[in-house]
Amino acid sequence: RKRSRSPTKSPSWFPETPHRRLRFINSPPPVIFTHSNIKAGDGSSLAVELVDAATGRRDTSGPLSSLGLEIVVLDADFTHESWTVSEFNDFIFREGEGKRPLLVGDGLVTLKDGFGVIENIYFADNSSFLKGQRFRLGARAIFEGPTEAKTEAFECVDSVKENLYPGSGKHHPPLL
């Protein structure tokens, strides 16, 4: 797998919005499993919101409050606190030619009143091929707009190899 640049998306009719940014409301747990829906650490659905960068308040009514988003896989080494679109794109993982998709399911989310829920999405491969063996999820506007969002880093473990898929009776970490 490799990181690769994705094409810049900048239609001339879309307003620039440096004062808005996307933010994950919650983050995946430190370890998630392949072929299992990605959830937040507390078991709820992952959620993302559009906020005013200055106040941190959710934007529920502007033209961007119903924006379409793409969920992407980021390298865990992407630790920047602020970034450009190009820097964000440089850390997106793309599957290599002939490889199966890394992230499978509904990778598109539409905000409603500045809020979107990420459901029915999972990893088809684990993070063992990475030096640090960890990923992040990112959210970006389908068209340029607000600053992108990222989750905390997490490890993705192969549920089949570890026999840790739902219903197997095994737990991570093991119950003692």
Higher pLDDT, 140 or 132: 140
Task: Say what the pLDDT of residue 6 is.
Answer: 45
Domain locations along the chain: 2-6+13-157
In this predicted structure, what is the pLDDT of residue 72? Answer: 96
Tokens describing residue 4? 């690769």
Give the pLDDT of residue 173: 53
Q: In whole angstroms, how far apart are CA 74 and each of 10, 17, 104, 149, 172?
A: 21, 23, 15, 11, 24
Could you give the CA distance from residue 148 to residue 146 in angstroms, rounded to a whole number? 6
pLDDT tens, residue by residue, 8-66: 444 444 454 458 999 999 999 999 999 999 999 999 999 999 999 999 999 999 889 99
Average pLDDT, the chain: 83
Q: Is the pTM of this model over 0.85?
A: no
Query: Listing from the earlier edge strand, what are the strands of the sheet with 20-24?
Result: 20-24, 46-52, 115-118
Give counts: helices (H), strands (E), the chain. 1, 13
Mean pLDDT of 57-77: 94
- pLDDT at residue 100 in the model: 79
Query: Would you state the CATH architecture of domain 2-6+13-157?
Result: Sandwich (2.60)
pLDDT mean over 68-80: 94
| pLDDT, tens digit (0-9, with 9 covering 90-100), for 137-156 | 999 999 878 999 999 999 99
Q: Which amino acid is at 173?
A: P
